């Protein structure tokens, strides 16, 4: 069987093996390659060089220099006619072409199955993403509607408080204005009597003055003593509302977490199978 390209030299097992000898089917570092070409028996060998060598695989058994004609089902490896007698006599094997066709069909089936599985998962992801994003938009709309409802309730409450205050204010002001008007009327009467009193200063006749003063006193006594009502007052006890209190007015967001599923790795035997068939 041919050897796959490795990262190290097959001779010194230390340097990078980026030189492949086509005759020896081995990888050499630069130093070992020079030594190899200086040897009399191998001076005419040819090399493939590069960091990603993919040497052409030999189609014959290295051990017996015979073509591969069978495939051992138990060892999962191609074998020649001598290998059958020496090492695989009691094993189940078939012609390599027949086995290759069977494995080829199996590999195709595995690829098709894998592609269908992956495509199905992609479809599920796309559908799930679409559904999730639609749910997000619905939740956003619900939150907005709830916010609008709460705002309307707050606006209604504010309007109600203000209307109550204005109605009470109208009644109180009307009462105060009525009392004020009565006081003004009484004051005008008092001023009128005050003028009459001042006019009495020029009366020399005692009896006439006495009569006039009694009239003024009588009019003054008739002016009603108006009691000032208790003055109205108003205040507003503002409540301190924390952000957490506002949060209690709303619903709760609940998320289903996205967890990437870890699939159990399948045995790598099928991968090795394909590599063996390439040989």
- Of the pLDDT bands very low, low, confident and very high (cuts 50, 70, 90), residue 261 is low
Residue 9's region, left for phi above 0, alpha for psi from -120 to 50, else beta, is: beta
Cα gap 105→112, rounded to integer Å: 10
The per-residue pLDDT for range 88-138, each reduced to its tens digit, is 888 887 777 777 777 788 889 999 999 999 999 999 999 999 999 999 999
Q: In residues, how long is the chain?
A: 279
The per-residue pLDDT for range 40-59, each reduced to its tens digit, is 888 888 888 865 566 555 56
The per-residue pLDDT for range 168-204, each reduced to its tens digit, is 999 999 999 999 999 999 999 999 999 999 999 988 8
* Closest listed residue to residue 14, CA positions, set 2, 26, 34, 31: 31
Average pLDDT of 146-158? Answer: 94
Cα gap 138→130, rounded to integer Å: 12
DSSP type of residue 94: E
Tokens found for residue 277: 């068939």
Q: Count of alpha carbons within 13 Å of 49, Cβ hemisphere only?
A: 7
Per-residue pLDDT for 245 more than 90? Answer: no
- Report in angstroms the alpha-carbon separations of 172 from 80, 156, 159, 160, 205: 118, 24, 20, 18, 51
- Give percent of the chain above pLDDT 90: 43
Q: How far is Cα of residue 1 from the mean position of the Cα atoms in its chain?
A: 53
Res 3: pLDDT: 42
Q: What is the pTM of this model?
A: 0.50
Helix or strand run (H / E) with residue 28: strand 26-28
Res 5: pLDDT: 42
Res 273: pLDDT: 30
Res 89: pLDDT: 80
Q: How far is Cα of residue 111 from the mean position of the Cα atoms in its chain?
A: 34
What value does the CA radius of gyration of the chain take, rounded to a whole number of Å?
56
Q: Count of alpha carbons within 13 Å of 107, Cβ hemisphere only?
A: 17
CA angle, 27 then 33 then 34, to 5°: 175
> Is residue 276 within 8 Å of residue 78, measured between CB atoms?
yes
Tokens found for residue 215: 């009239």
End-to-end CA distance of the chain: 7
Q: Count of alpha carbons within 13 Å of 69, Cβ hemisphere only?
A: 10
Q: Does 1-57 carry CATH code 3.40.50.2000?
A: no
The ranges assigned to domains in the chain are 1-57, 120-203
> Is residue 17 within 8 Å of residue 8, measured between CB atoms?
yes
The count of other CB atoms within 10 Å of the CB of residue 80 is 21
């Amino acid at each position: 069987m041919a050897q796959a390209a490795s990262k190290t030299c097959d001779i010194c097992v230390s340097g990078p093996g980026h030189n492949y000898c086509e005759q020896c089917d081995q990888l050499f570092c630069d130093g070992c390659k020079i030594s190899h070409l200086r040897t009399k028996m191998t001076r005419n060998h040819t090399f493939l060089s590069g960091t990603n060598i993919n040497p052409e695989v030999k189609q014959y058994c290295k051990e017996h220099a015979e073509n591969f004609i069978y495939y051992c089902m138990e060892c999962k490896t191609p074998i020649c006619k001598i290998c059958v007698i020496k090492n695989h006599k009691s094993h189940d094997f078939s012609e390599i072409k027949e086995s290759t066709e069977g494995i080829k069909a199996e590999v195709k089936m595995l690829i098709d199955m894998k592609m269908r599985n992956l495509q199905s998962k992609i479809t599920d992801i796309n559908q799930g993403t679409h559904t999730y994003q639609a749910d997000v938009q619905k939740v956003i709309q619900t939150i907005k509607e709830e916010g609008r409802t709460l705002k309307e309730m707050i606006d209604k409450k504010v309007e109600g408080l203000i209307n109550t205050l204005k109605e009470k204010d109208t009644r109180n002001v009307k009462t105060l204005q009525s009392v004020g008007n009565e006081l003004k009327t009484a004051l005008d009467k008092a001023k009128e009597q005050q003028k009459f009193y001042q006019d009495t200063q020029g009366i020399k006749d005692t009896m006439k003055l006495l009569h006039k003063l009694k009239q003024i006193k009588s009019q003054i006594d008739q002016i009603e003593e108006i009691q000032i009502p208790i003055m109205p007052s108003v205040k507003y006890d503002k409540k301190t509302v924390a952000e957490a209190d506002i949060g209690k007015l709303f619903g709760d967001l609940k998320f289903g977490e996205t967890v990437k599923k870890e699939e159990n790795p399948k045995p790598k035997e099928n991968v090795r199978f394909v590599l063996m068939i390439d040989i």
